[in-house]
Structure 1
Amino acid sequence: MSEGHPEPDRIEGAPHPRQTAQLIGQSKAEAAFLAAFNGKHLHHGWLVTGPRGVGKATLAWKIARFLLATPDDDGGMFAAPAPQSLDIPDSHPVAHRLAALTESRLFLLRRPYDEKAARLKQDITVDEVRKMKSFFALSAADGGRRVAIIDSIDEMNVSAANALLKLLEEPPARVTILMISHQPAKLLPTIRSRCRELRLGALSPQDLSNALTQAGGEVAASEATALAELAGGSVGEAFRMTNLDGLQHYEALISLFATLPRLDRPRALNFAEKSAGKGAEAQFDLSVTLLDLFLARLARAGTLQLLPPEAARGEADLISRLSPSPHHAREWADAAQHLGLRARKARAVNLDPAALLMDMLLHINETSARLA
């Protein structure tokens, strides 16, 4: 990708995963790969799965550094001991080349930039997979390993996925393909069956705080739990929340919903207009996300009869009042599904964002009044 073009596998404002110094909170996945390597069971295809923003790409780049920097064990009596971690020093030549995207034994497959349209393409195309196959057809300069990172396989169109499948069915020798997937259930079953899976989990509040600090964000200790709740343990989502004052936005939303089932309409209108003003697309998306998240928390709490950790002051009392039983939970789950569908349709026809948000708030009020 030419210099100056946006990188599709990078969160705006954060370092690229290849430049992230440390993988936080995913020691089990690291240990699983290392065990396979040391046990001589290195599969050719690895699916790195889990929620968005929990370190999947960072792990893939860490594995790539490890594989390309670790010499082969020739089985001789003077062979180096088995590695105890995937860590490679920053000073290592491979680490320098990967950071600069100049490593000749690595192929990075991601959405390409469309020069004519001056934007990133929506999908990874079959032409990009063919380039990867051509790369593997060339002999490695040192006869050693080669690695490909696909970020993400979810963005492949059908033709690209079928081309990748053929490659996985007849993999080249000494090649490791690391495929990042946020939604592995949507992949072709035949692709999944030909790969080993490394599953990454959501980050704890402390790990999330540490990862966010590493990425250049900041979070107060008192806000770590709330941010982890709203971000679902995803540092990528936490980064977005932090940049857009998501915690303060959710506080305002909970304060507004404290007036249910007699919604304070002037405040609701003010909330909708502030969230959907000109040039506020990111804020609008955040507002829709937070509304959906609040409804999901209502439904989960009523179903499990268990309150989640508070993500805003007064949230626990509000959830207790609005969703005290599984019956209430089902109603809130139905409301979430209904509003999600309406939001997608409204976006498709370019409905006024403020009107859409106000409509969602009024529907939540109606549901609350019916259940009161």
Structure 2
Amino acid sequence: MSDQQDAHVLEGALAPARNPKLFGHHAAEEFLARSYRSGKSHHAILIEGPQGIGKATLAFRFAHHVLSYPEPTDAPATLDDPDPASPISRQIASGASHNLLHLARPTDEKTGKVKSAITIDEVRRAGHFFSQTSGTGNWRIVIIDPADDLNRNAANAILKLLEEPPRRAMFLVLSHAPGKLLPTIRSRCQALKLSPLGDKDLSSALSFLGLPLDGGKTEEMVLGLSKGSVSQALKLLNYGGTEIIAAFDEVIASEGPKARKAMHRLADVLSGKDSEVIFGFFLDHLSDHLTGRARHAALAGDLHTADRQAKLVSDIAEKVATAQAYNLDRKQTILSILDSAR
């Protein structure tokens, strides 16, 4: 597996490039297989849906299918589980396939951390990739994972490739929030919407990863809080997500010195070493919490409170972005966020 793929994989998960199983998206698999077999498959497919539900795994499964059957008329009408021992699987898993390029946020060579965006330099790799002549005459497939991470220049560069795709080129464009993409990018793709996993499929996916749910309160909590996302479930189980939620609830419920102590305890955890994943989890949970407040107020007819809570979501996102851009002290940023959220 390439270093870039490894940098994006959660503890307990399998990189999509080497995951042989996909749960809960049979209709999408059938659509892709049949569309390809018909010879009328779109050159750019926008696979959209919440984070962690299997979009990237589906993209790599479909890429494996296409590269295994370069002539659409020879392809079966279903996507089978890839054989990890096959040459194509080994090449894809190691990032060594000459016919598949995975574009994701790169790792900063100096800091070893994943960068905040997919840059134009990454997209130039796609241009070079397509300029090379395939010795086998096979397809050339680019997986953009996710397109939400493209910065403005990179997005415009991808758009040019989508507008004039080379022969036998295919783009699998992933997005957690397609409404935020350039409308011109969306218009040049065929949309394929994936839904969050149902409880049964989520449980099966976790069992496959060696994390069977016990059928008790833990299962009820994980299924309820993960919202059909394997990545959210992994953050709850392997990254202390449940403890973060409990600590946040304590902050909200407490007053005076007790609240300040709870805020500092939570901020210490979220600003500690290697806390990027759990910090992101906290921000997602906080956004959901405030959005829920806004919705509840709106339903109660309190539009002033609803508007204030909705604005707070965007204000916090802006505050976090500013802190990251200027490398401000994270603990102080978190304390400020918690103050405003209370």
Q: What TM-score range do you get, normalising by the shorter chain?
A: 0.7 to 0.9
For residues 1-372 of structure 1, the aligned pairs below 5 Å read 7-72=6-71, 82-116=76-110, 118-222=112-216, 223-251=218-246, 253-254=248-249, 263-277=254-268, 279=272, 281=275, 286-300=281-295, 326-327=300-301, 331=305, 334-335=308-309, 337-338=311-312, 341-342=315-316, 344-345=318-319, 348=323, 350=329, 352=332, 355-356=335-336, 359-360=339-340, 364=342
Contact 2:55 2:194 in 1 (8 A): yes
Distance 1:212 1:296, change over 3 A: farther
Q: Distance in 2 between matches of 1:253 and 1:73?
A: 52
Distance 1:255 1:328 in 2: 26
2:101, 2:112 → 1: CA distance? 23
- The percentage of aligned residue pairs carrying the same residue is 33
Contact 1:284–1:353 under 8 Å retained in 2: no
Amino acid of the structure 1 residue aligned with 2:81: D
Aligned to 1:368: none
Contact 2:143 2:172 in 1 (8 A): yes
Alpha carbons of structure 1 residues 357 and 189: separation in structure 2 relative to 1, 3 Å: closer
Distance of 2:12 and 2:72 partners within structure 1 = 40
Deviation at 1:298, TM superposition (A): 4.4
- Cα separation, 2, equivalents of 1:333 and 1:212: 38
Give how far 1:59 is off.
0.6
Is the CA contact (8 Å cut-off) linking 1:32 and 1:198 kept in structure 2?
no
Kept in 2: contact 1:108–1:150 (CA 8 A)? yes
- Once residues 147 and 254 of structure 1 are traced to their aligned partners in structure 2, the CA distance between those partners, rounded to angstroms, is 45
**8 Å contact from structure 1 (residues 295, 333) kept in 2:** no
Instruction: Judging by fraction of residues, say which structure has more helix.
Output: 2
Secondary structure, aligned partner of 1:47: strand
Unaligned runs of 5+ in 1: 75-79, 304-324, 365-372
Aligned CA distance change for structure 1 residues 66 and 334 (closer, same or farther; 3 Å)? same
How many residues are treated as equivalent by the alignment? 331
Kindly provide the CA deviation profile for residues 220-268 of structure 1, in whole angstroms up to 9, marking residues without a partner as x: 32333432332232211221122233234434655776x6xxx454543
Question: Equivalent residue for 1:322?
Answer: none
1:190 Cα deviation after fit: 1.6
- Paired with 2:232 and 2:245, the residues of 1 have a C-alpha distance of 14
Q: Which has the larger radius of gyration?
A: 1
Alpha-carbon distance, 1:336 to partner: 5.1
CA distance in 2, matches of 1:341, 1:87: 44
Deviation at 1:91, TM superposition (A): 3.4
User: Partners of 2:15 and 2:119 in 1: how far apart?
Assistant: 22
Residues 33 and 76, structure 2, Cα contact 8 Å, conserved in 1:
no
Q: Note if contact 1:50-1:183 (Cα within 8 Å) is conserved in structure 2.
A: yes
Q: Tell me the TM-score normalised to structure 1 length.
A: 0.76
RMSD: 3.2
Amino acid at match of 2:78: Q
C-alpha separation between the residues in 2 aligned to 1:81 and 1:136?
A: 23
